[in-house]
Amino acid sequence: MHWQGQFFGGVDLGTVNVGQKIIAKLSWDQPNHQFVVGWTDVATGGVTQTVMPYNISDIAPAAAPDKLVGVRTFAPNCIGAQHVFADMEATSDRVWIGK
């Protein structure tokens, strides 16, 4: 998650293989101050899911509503002058954004 250009939360949902079809889902659970994020393996029906809690006030309407579906990777243990890089490619179709 990010707010005002700063990342403050993220989750590791494991690995998806090249060509593996999944259905990704992100839901806002406002009463519990968290987002529910996960994916379902289309072939097996297996579900991987977790939550991203936050402590930013959410009682006022959004000042700059933004919806984004994206894929990012953050390489672990990137300390010092030597950077560790990770590449990722993803395609998506049939994106649905509901209320």
Position with higher pLDDT, 51 vs 28: 51
> How many CA atoms, within 13 angstroms, populate the side-chain half-sphere of residue 4?
2
Residue 82 has pLDDT above 80, yes or no: no
Radius of gyration of the chain from its Cα atoms, rounded to whole angstroms: 16
Q: Return the residue matching tokens 């998806």.
A: 16
- Best CA proximity match to 74, nearest among 4, 11, 6: 11
Which pLDDT does position 58 carry in this prediction? 81
pTM (whole model) above 0.85:
no
Structure tokens at 86: 């990770």
